Chains A and B, each alone.
Chain A
Amino acid sequence: MVVLAIFVYWPIVESLRLSLNRVAPFGNAEIFVGLDQYTRLLTSGEFWNNVLVSIYFMLGTVPVGIGLAVVIALLLSYPVRRLSWAHRMLIFVPVVISSAVAGVLFRWLYNPVVGHINTWLGAFGIDGPNWLNTRTWALFAVTVAVVWRQLGFNVIIALAGLQQIDDSYYDAAKVDGAGTWDRIRYVTLPLLSPTLLFLVVINVIISFQAFGEIDILTMGGPGQATENLVYSVFVDGFVGTRFRGLASAQAFLLALLVMGVSFVQFRGFRSRVHYG
C-alpha cells in the first residue's frame, strides 16, 4: 500500500497539480493557470491532430494485427506438427526485440535512397515512395512496423485460445456436414471470442501507447503526421524546452480517452462474447 501510494497515487496527484500550473523548464517558477492549459489544448489544432493520429493508429494496427494473428494461428494449429515449434518460434521472435531495435531495423528498410524496400520495388520497376518523410506514407510505415513487432504476441495468445477449443466441437460440426470454412466461421471464431476480446483490449491500449517506433522512425514527423498523444506528452515534457504542465494536462486527457475507449469496448462486446 505504501509502495502504491509513493509510486502510483502520489505521481497522479502531482501531475494533476502540474497540469493546473505553467511550470518553468527548470522547475523553480510556477504560474497557476487553472484549467487554462486544458482549454488551450481542447481548442488547438495540434492537440486534435495528435488525437486523430492516435485513433488512426489504433484503427490501423488493431484490426489488421489481430486479423493476421488469427490467420497465422489457424495455419499454425493445422498439423504440420514436425515444423510447428520452429514456426512458432520464428513468429514470436519479434516480440523479444525491443521497439528501439525494431525501429532501427525498419529505418534501414525504409531509407529512400539505400533502403531495401525501395531497392526491391525498383527491381520490379516501381519507384517506391519516401516512406518516412511524406505525410501520405509515414503513418502507414510506422503502423506496419508496430503490427510486425506485436504480431508474435497476438499469434501466441490466439494459438492458446485455439487450443482451448475442445476437438469434440469440431467432430460434431463435421458430423453435421460443415466444411473447413464453416467450422472456422461457426465453431472456431465464436469460441475464440473471449480471447479476441482480450486481444482487442490489449492491442488498443498498446496502440495508444506506441512510442518506440515513432521516436526512432519519424520523431512524430513529417510535420506532426505521426505525432500521437503519447509522443506529444514526451516531447512537451522531457525534451528541450520542458512544458511539464502542458504535458501533464495532455497525459490526463490521454488517460480519459483510453478509459473511455476501454469502457465502450467492454459494453460493446459483452453481448457478443461467448464463454464456452
Chain B
Amino acid sequence: MKKLRTILVLLAAFALVAAACGDSDGGDTTAAPSATTAAPGATTAAPSGDAITIEFWHAMADDLGAVVDELVDRYNASQSDVVVNATFQGSYDDTYNALLASFDAGTAPNIVQNFDLAAQTMFDTGRLVPAHELMAEGEADGFLAAPRDYYSDDTGMVALAFNSSTPIVYYNAEMFEAAGLDQPDPDWNFSDFLDACEAIEASGVQFCATFGTVGWFFEQILANSGGLYFNNDNGRTARATEVEFNKGQGVEVFDFLTGLIADGHAPNLGNTWSDTDSVFFAGEAAMIFDSTSGARGFQDNADFEVKTAFIPHSDSSERNGVVIGGAALWLIDSGDDATNQAAWDFMRYMTLADQQITWHTGTGYFPVIASLQDAPTPELSTFWDENPNFVTAIDQLATTRTVNDDGSPNYAVLGGRAGPFPEIRRIIVEAYSAVLDGGSTPQEALDEAAERANEALAGYNAFFDG
C-alpha cells in the first residue's frame, strides 16, 4: 500500500512537471520557435491560375501589423501575377526562430523581416538573394544613404530597410517652459544636457530624464560622438574581431549615461522600455530617451505637450548623427528565379512613394526613399506641419554625417556589424548594473564587458576560419 502511494505521488509529480513545462513554453511570448506555425502558410496553394504565392513573415504587431496588412492588400489588388501572403510571427526573436526552424523543415518564407543587429547573422545564413542583384541600375541611389548603407556590404545593398527608426529625446514642454528652457540646440553636448538638468531639477521636477539601461542608447550616443563600437571600421571592412567601446569616446559616453543615474538625474529602472514611459507620463521626469517610432504614442498618450530634441554628444566631439535602427526585409532564395523576382516585385512596391507615405504617417517609421524628403507630396507636407515631432526625427537622420570631410565613409554612424551583436548588447546591460550596483567604475565595467564581448566575437568568427 505504501509503495503504491509513493508511486502515485511520483506519477502525479511527473504529470505536473510535464504540464508545467508545457505551460512555460506556451505562456512565454518571446521564446518557442514554432515549426508548426511555419507549415500551414507555406503550403497554401496559389489561388488562381499562374499567380505566384509569396510568403512574407513579419514581426509587426497590433496597429503596425494592421498597416502592413493594408499595404499587402493594396499590392495584391494592384496586380494579378503575385499573391502575397503576410503572416505575423511574433517578436523579432520569434520570427527569427521560426525562420531557423523553417530552414530545417524546408518551409522557408520568401521574404522575412529581421532586425538591425541580426544583419551579420542574416548575411551568414547563405540563404539570401542580395537586393542589389535584382535592382535596376542606379536604383539603390533612390534610397536615403543611412538605411541603404546600413544594410549594404561591399557588393551593394543586401536587404531593404523597411521599418527604420532612430533614438530621440522626447521632452515635457511644460516642464521645459517652467524651468525657463528653450528647445535644445541640435548640437547639444553632455555639458549642455547637464545644465538643462540643473534648471529642470531647480524648478521642482524630481528627475531630469529617464531611460532604460538598454544597450541601444550607449551605441547611439557613442556613434553621435564619433566613436567606433567594433574594430575593422565597425566590422564593415572586415569581420569585427574586437570591440572598441572601452576606449576613448566609449568611456566618456558610458560615464555620462551611468552618471545621469548615479547622480540622481534619472531613476534606475533597469533594462526596460515600459517603466520609463510610466515615469515620463506621470510627470516625474522631464525627458525620456526612446525610439522615433514611439512619436505617435507619446504625442497621443501624454496629457501634456510633448516635444522632441536630438540626442546629445560628448563634450570632446562634434555631432556625428545617429545609426539607423529598426528592421529590414530580407529575400530568402527559393531556388526559383521567377519566385525570387515576384518577391522582389513586392519589396520594390513597398518602397514606392504612396506606400512609404502610408507607412510613415501610420507608424512613425521613416520613409526610406530620398525623393520624399527632397520633394514631399502636399499630403506629406501637411502631415509634417501638423506633427513637428516626426520632422525632428527625420532631420536628425538627414543631418547625419555619413561621409567624412575627406570623402571617406563615417563608419561610426554607419553602425556596428558583428554576428554576436545581440549578445554584446546584453553584456552592456550588465555593465550598467556593474557600475550602478556593483561598485565598478565605468572604465572597469566596460573593460570587463569588452573581454566578454571579444570572447563572443572569437566564438562566432571561429565558424568562418577555414
Contact = CB atoms under 8 A, between A and B. Distances in A.
Given A209-B24, A240-B422, A234 B31 contact: yes
Contact of A215 (B30, B206, B284): B30
Contact of B462 (A31, A98, A132, A209): A31
A256 to B, nearest CB: 15
B268 A211 contact: no
Contacts, number: 156
A240 B271 contact: no
A157 B399 CA distance: 65
Contacts of B29: 100
A224 B463 contact: no
B419 A25 contact: yes
B9 A201 contact: yes
Interface string B69-110: 000000000000000000000000100010010011000000
Interface string B207-221: 100000000000000
Contacts of B207: 113
Contacts of A98: 27
Given A27-B104, A111-B269, A211 B125 contact: no
A127 to B, nearest CB: 13
B13 A27 contact: no
Interface in B1-28: 1-2, 5-6, 9-10, 12-13, 16-17, 20-21, 24, 27-28
Nearest to A218: B270
Contact of A212 (B24, B270, B420): B24
A211 B279 contact: no
Nearest to B18: A8
Given A28-B103, A130-B268, A133-B269, A205 B419 contact: no
A219 B319 CA distance: 33
Contacts of A186: none
A211 B433 CA distance: 21
Interface residues of A, number: 53
A86 interface: no
A240 B117 contact: yes
A240 B92 CA distance: 9
- Select the residue from A26, A29, A107 with max chain B CB neighbours within 10 A: A26
Interface of B: 1-2, 5-6, 9-10, 12-13, 16-17, 20-21, 24, 27-33, 93, 97, 100, 103-104, 117, 121-122, 124-126, 206-207, 267-271, 274-275, 278-279, 282, 284-285, 419-423, 425-426, 429-430, 433-434, 436-438, 456, 459-460, 462-463
B16 A113 contact: no
Given A235-B426, A238-B97, A275-B2, A205 B17 contact: yes
A192 B400 CA distance: 70
B300 to A, nearest CB: 20
Contacts of A17: none
A100 B26 CA distance: 11
B125 A28 contact: yes
Contact of A209 (B20, B420, B423): B20
A256 B282 CA distance: 48
A79 B419 CA distance: 64
A132 B282 CA distance: 20
A99 B27 CA distance: 8
Contacts of B12: 198
A133 B436 contact: yes
B21 A223 contact: no
Given A113-B282, A114-B278, A206-B20, A100 B27 contact: yes
A205 B420 CA distance: 33
B71 to A, nearest CB: 28
Contacts of B274: 107
Contacts of A201: 9, 13
A165 interface: no
Contacts of A262: 13
Interface in A210-256: 211-212, 215, 218-219, 221-225, 230, 234-235, 238-243
Nearest to A222: B433
Contacts of A243: 423, 459
Contacts of A99: 24, 27
Interface in A127-165: 130, 132-135
Given A135-B438, A198-B13, A114 B269 contact: no
A132 B212 CA distance: 13
A211 B270 contact: no
A112 interface: yes
Contacts of A221: 270-271, 429-430, 433
Interface string A45-63: 0000000000000000000
B463 A133 contact: no
A24 B124 contact: yes
Contacts of A235: 426
B31 A223 contact: no
A202 interface: yes
Given A114-B278, A197-B9, A241 B460 contact: yes
B275 A107 contact: yes
23 contacts: A22-B462, A25-B420, A25-B460, A26-B100, A26-B121, A28-B126, A29-B463, A100-B27, A112-B267, A113-B278, A113-B279, A135-B433, A194-B9, A201-B13, A209-B17, A222-B436, A223-B437, A223-B438, A230-B24, A239-B30, A240-B420, A240-B423, A240-B426
Nearest to A29: B463
A202 B423 contact: no
Contacts of A219: 271, 429
A108 B433 CA distance: 21
